[in-house]
Amino acid sequence: MGATSISDGGHRVPMVSIERNSEKNHDRPDVNDHAFVQAGVRQVEAITAVWSTRMLWTVFVLLYFINNIVAVLQHVQSSLTPYVTSTFAQHGLLATTGVVSSIVGGVCQLTIANVIDIWGRGQGYAVMLVLCVVGLIMKATCDSVEMYAAAHTLYWVGHIGIGYIITVVLADMTTLQNRTIMFGINTTPSIVSTFAGPKIAELFLQKVNFRWAFGGFSIILTAFSLPILAVFFLHQRKAISLGVIEKEAVKRSAWGSTVYYFWQFDTVGLFLVTAGWSLLLLPFSIARSAPQGWTAGYIIAMIVLGVLILIASIYWERSFARIPFFPWRFLKERTVWASCLLNGLMFMSVFVWEAYYTSYLQVVHSQSVRDAGYISGTFNVFSSFVGPFVGLMIRYTNDYKWTSMAGVPFAALGSALLVHFRRPDTNIGFLVMCQVFTGVAIGIWGLTAQLALMASVRHQEVAIALAMSGLFGSIGVSLGFTVAGALWTNIVPANLYEALPEDSKNLTSILFGDIREQLSYPIGSPVRDAVIMAFQDAQHKMVIVGACLVPFMLACIFVWKKIDLRKRQQEEGQSKGNVF
């Protein structure tokens, strides 16, 4: 592979040269070869080579706008979800609706990485946009909790995919030293969305209904996404017209293309991993509602089958997959697997109590939908607020490992105080304080983990490495939801039945299934006190589980290698073209 340049009106543009292998080798490339660069990576390098500095900053702004919309939408839908499940008298299945979507969303990131590396960033974004919009439309028209769960899975895959592709594009547009600055700025939309999202959700509930919220955001997201798609496709055409990038030389029949992409995307591996994790984790959330509980035949069958399918997926990946779905070679690099593991542990430690936190705030502390969303979202505000400062610190210290140590005292305080303050008589200010401490720690570790990961791989591996991190994160979310669902469904109904007055014990299933029914009883009434006691006990156990994960997160950070970012950028040249 060599490099040449061409002239574009006096401006010399580096040409992304391409050496073609035979069709046989092209279909089965050596992904461990440092010279091998996939078509989508060559394409984005060509795009950054032909756009101007003004266009570079325009793209930053467009991506920032999209992130604002996505962040607001996420807060709106999380505030509305308890009311959607309650509409179908299934409030207790709140965590279950998130398990499959989190698993599928995480696993699909590896496939999305292949899509954007093979087809291109713009093409991948368009596919994720369609999935997200279709999911929102299905949410707006759902007539059962099962349909809502299916819609949420589609929405979540699109939502995760959009965020993931934006992260990869930002990596394409920045050098290693400056990357965390832009990543940090990219997280700041959460500061506004934390306050705007719950208020918007509350207005929709008061003025119309949740269906209009999902329908409206499907239109808004599409409108804001069209400009960035236009930028990518127009500059791709410009790169082709200037000869900076060539069109695919290998021609295949329709059947040949089907077979080629079947192996490229490791379709079998994707199916096995998704099915395996889903079958293994789902029983922990639905066992309570099974006729015979944990002894139900289908509950046992799901767990056993899930384990067997995961074992089969490992065998498939190691023995049959031409292009492995899971890049096993990365596990030999300790910084890579430690960063991925840290990401998973962070998400699990939060989502193990976050799943039911807004419900807890409304029922136990009499907070409105808006205020409960604000309190819960304080975590996101401060994890986003510290982002740009973390980026600047890394930029000027050239070090990410010791920068991450700044999060240790915040994590220690946050986790300890979370356990102490999960009581009905706790002042709301202390709950907010816990969210601040935890948010700062996660904000620091989230960014340093991403940079440690990217500094350990080549540019053509950045997308798949980030996808691996996303997979671990989504499994962490799924495990958090699963543990939360298991604790909730096994603690709340039993405690509720025990605490309710004798003449109200028949209300147990109704109260467990509908947050509106829970809120209909005033503070101080025997029924409301019983609900508060049941909620408090479950939440207290949830935050204990989250706090127990903090030492393991610290261990992951100590495992990282210390990499000189300036030297790494010079050696690898991770980003090419007109970049920041």
Q: What is the pLDDT of residues 422-479, one digit of tens each?
A: 888 888 888 889 889 989 998 899 889 988 888 888 777 788 888 888 878 877 877 8
pLDDT at site 210: 77
pLDDT at site 309: 93
pLDDT at site 9: 44
pLDDT at site 342: 92
Rounded to an integer, what distance in angstroms lies between the CA atom of residue 480 and that of residue 73?
A: 22
Which stretch, 125-139, 188-202, 241-255, 416-430, has highest mean pLDDT?
Answer: 125-139
Rounded to an integer, what distance in angstroms lies between the CA atom of residue 173 and that of residue 480?
A: 33
pLDDT band at 226 (very low <50, low <70, confident <90, very high): very high
pTM of this structure: 0.77
The pLDDT of residue 305 is above 90: yes
pLDDT at site 13: 46
Rounded to an integer, what distance in angstroms lies between the CA atom of residue 243 and that of residue 131?
A: 33
| Mean pLDDT value across residues 41-67 | 83
Q: Is 5 helix (H, G, I), strand (E, B) or coil?
A: strand
pLDDT at site 6: 41
pLDDT band at 39 (very low <50, low <70, confident <90, very high): low
Q: Supply 424's token pair.
A: 């009905």
Residue predicted with more confidence, 335 or 457: 335
Rounded to an integer, what distance in angstroms lies between the CA atom of residue 385 and that of residue 429?
A: 19
Per-position DSSP letters for 266-290, written without gaps between them = THHHHHHHHHHHHHHHTHHHHGGGS
Rounded to an integer, what distance in angstroms lies between the CA atom of residue 151 and that of residue 364?
A: 30
Which stretch, 30-39, 216-225, 458-467, has highest mean pLDDT?
Answer: 216-225
The pLDDT of residue 95 is above 70: no
Least trusted range by pLDDT, from 11-25, 233-247, 407-421: 11-25
The pLDDT of residue 520 is above 90: no
pLDDT at site 35: 47
What is the residue-averaged pLDDT of the chain? 80
Rounded to an integer, what distance in angstroms lies between the CA atom of residue 282 and that of residue 513?
A: 19
Phi, psi of 11, rounded to the nearest 5 degrees: -100, 120
- The candidate with the shortest Cα–Cα distance to 90, out of 285, 256, 272, is 285
The pLDDT of residue 225 is above 60: yes
pLDDT at site 113: 81
Query: For 4-27, how does the pLDDT look when each residue is reduced to its tens digit (9 = 90+)?
Result: 344 444 444 444 443 333 344 444
Query: For 491-514, how does the pLDDT look when each residue is reduced to its tens digit (9 = 90+)?
Result: 888 888 888 888 878 878 888 777
Percent of the chain topping pLDDT 90: 8
**Can you say whether the dihedral through the CA atoms of 291, 294, 295, 297 is positive or negative?**
positive
The pLDDT of residue 49 is above 80: no
pLDDT at site 500: 83
The pLDDT of residue 265 is above 60: yes
Instruction: Tell me how many degrees the CA angle 449-455-459 measures, rounded to the nearest 5.
Output: 120
Which residue in this structure is represented by tokens 């079998």?
268
- The candidate with the shortest Cα–Cα distance to 472, out of 307, 326, 272, 305, is 326
Q: Bridge partners of 7?
A: 12
Q: Which residues of 8-26 are buried (b: 16+ CB within 10 A; e: fewer)?
A: eeeeebbbbeeeeeeeeee
Q: Is 225 helix (H, G, I), strand (E, B) or coil?
A: helix
Which stretches of 88-120 are DSSP H helices? Answer: 96-118
SS3 content of the chain, % helix, strand, coil (to 5): 80, 0, 20
* Contacting residues for 156 by C-beta, under 8 A, at least 6 apart: 98, 101, 102, 104, 105, 135
Which stretch, 127-141, 193-207, 516-530, has highest mean pLDDT?
Answer: 127-141
Q: Supply 172's token pair.
A: 């394409």
| Mean pLDDT value across residues 259-283 | 80
pLDDT at site 576: 58
Q: Which residues of 128-140 are buried (b: 16+ CB within 10 A; e: fewer)?
A: bbebbbebbbbbb
The pLDDT of residue 348 is above 60: yes
pLDDT band at 482 (very low <50, low <70, confident <90, very high): confident
The pLDDT of residue 122 is above 50: yes
Q: How many CB atoms lie within 10 A of CB 566?
A: 11
Residue predicted with more confidence, 241 or 255: 255
- The candidate with the shortest Cα–Cα distance to 342, out of 483, 464, 442, is 442
Rounded to an integer, what distance in angstroms lies between the CA atom of residue 165 and that of residue 439?
A: 24
Q: Pairing mode, if any, of strands 3-8 and 11-16? A: antiparallel
Residue predicted with more confidence, 430 or 485: 430
